[in-house]
Homo-oligomer: A and B are copies of this chain.
Amino acid sequence: MADYEAIKKELEGIAIEDNPALVKQKSRDFYWYSPILKGELENVTGDLIVSPTSEEEVIRTLKVAFSHGVPVTARGTGTGNYGQAMPLSGGIVLSLAGMNKVKEIHPGRVITEPGVICSDLDKQTRAHSGQELRFHPSTNQTATIGGFVAGGSGGVGSIHWGGLRDLGNIIRLRVVTMEAEPRVLELTGRDLQKVSHAYGTNGIITEVEMPLAPAYDWVDVLVGHDDFMDSVRFADALAHENGILIKELAPISAPVPHLYFTRHKPWIREGQSVTVVVVAPFAMDAFEAFCRTAKAEIVFRSDKVESMKGIPHAYELAWNHTTLRALKVDPNFTYLQVQYASPNHVEKVGKMVEMFGDEVLGHLEFIRFNGEIQCAGLPLVRFTTKERLEEIMRLHEENGCPIFNPHRYTLEEGGMKQTDQVQLAFKKETDPMGLLNPGKMIAWENPDFDFKSGQNYLFPGLEALGVA
């Protein structure tokens, strides 16, 4: 056990929390969306929350932690879904939410500290010059930009811009290393891949430079169809309209909208599948014309309701907010993350819909991927057993629909199921003692792990927490 009394003394002047209940609260995210992770990560907690308010304080904290051999797990506001920022080996949880100053705003880009909430950032760039982030998670109002970069992949706006992995969707990151004398590195271009979506395993992000897009008074629209596959075909055709500027496009299968979109319920018929669309205001004429030809019914539009009071943003019906809304009402739901690659994405969706019926309810997010329109799926699964969940995933993969497993806490198992050599090599440089967010990068913990074994990796550190 590390000497936390000494550590606290050495960190004097930096905000610290050691009340176990509060520490545990700040050691969690939305891992409980997964019944698997719920079991595995329930007892995870850090020992100390450290909340620096400047890069200098980050450096001081890392220096102290390094000298004591204490793990450090960076955290924004804990809106991840797979334990990205949960400290599997305890230690220090480095809460960066206090580093929330927006530093510079220019045409097309913003420079900010990592802890600013995405919607606060948008508010400031909008007020400054009518700009906003290209895309944000559905947790716009609670997630930090740094957390999004470190643990997210895409979101509301990805229909236009693709994801964080794409060159150009992050401009620059400033990163502090975990060494006896921490270094400060500036990453651009392809080097960004070293730390984006690396869960803070190989550096602490202290500054973020992001591209901006114009901010408009976006119109929230729900389009209804009696058949989910009609929604899917409608969305696919709309996604291919070059000139109609939209920010979000998500078909969601009945009965989800009517049952779980409680505030929008008055506008949604029972049995109706709904496509959530966010449209630029000046594109509404064109959008309506498109719907007319497609014989698609607009059931809700935010610019025509009497009041939006109490009605959430449409993007808060999409991405993992869809899952959240279903879970809130029926805790037996969980979800998957599926890739339906173009050009046969619609066909692949149809096959899965037919195969699983009511057990797996369709929820798609149309996105741009390598310059082409395709869809990602976050289908809702009526959970029965772990074995059946694994089988459903296997059946997806066997039918050409790769799964990005949201029931795994490691980078590899949640992602490409192989070692990311770039991120691993960078960790060797930046975190030689392996103290940053231990247990998340299998390639570091167990270089011989066989990703083809079909076995779930279990971080040894977790055993101490009594996980079966």
Contact = CB atoms under 8 A, between A and B. Distances in A.
Contacts of A130: 107, 129-130
Contacts of A240: 370-372
A214 B293 CA distance: 30
Contact of A243 (B169, B190, B241): B169
A172 B215 CA distance: 22
A190 B293 contact: yes
B243 A282 contact: no
A213 B160 CA distance: 13
A243 B166 contact: yes
Interface centre among A106, A108, A109, A373 (most CB of B within 10 A): A108
A453 interface: no
Nearest to A241: B167
A285 interface: yes
A282 B189 contact: no
Nearest to A236: B371
Nearest to A245: B168
Interface centre among A129, A161, A240 (most CB of B within 10 A): A240
Interface in A34-62: none
A162 B243 CA distance: 7
A168 B283 contact: yes
Interface string A266-287: 0000000000000011110111
Nearest to A172: B285
A131 B107 CA distance: 11
A163 B109 CA distance: 27
Contact of A371 (B163, B241, B282, B285): B241
Given A213-B214, A372-B372, A108 B241 contact: no
Contacts of A352: none
Interface residues of A, number: 52
A355 interface: no
Interface string A153-187: 00000000111001111011000000000000000
A135 to B, nearest CB: 10
A244 interface: yes
Nearest to A191: B289
Given A167-B289, A240-B370, A107 B189 contact: no
Interface string A200-238: 000000000001011111000000000000000000000
A242 interface: yes
A249 to B, nearest CB: 12
Given A167-B243, A169-B243, A211-B245, 16 more contacts: A107-B130, A107-B282, A108-B214, A130-B130, A131-B214, A166-B241, A166-B244, A167-B241, A189-B288, A190-B289, A190-B292, A214-B214, A239-B371, A242-B370, A242-B371, A371-B373
Interface of A: 106-109, 129-131, 134, 161-163, 166-169, 171-172, 188-190, 211, 213-217, 239-245, 280-283, 285-290, 292-293, 343, 368-373
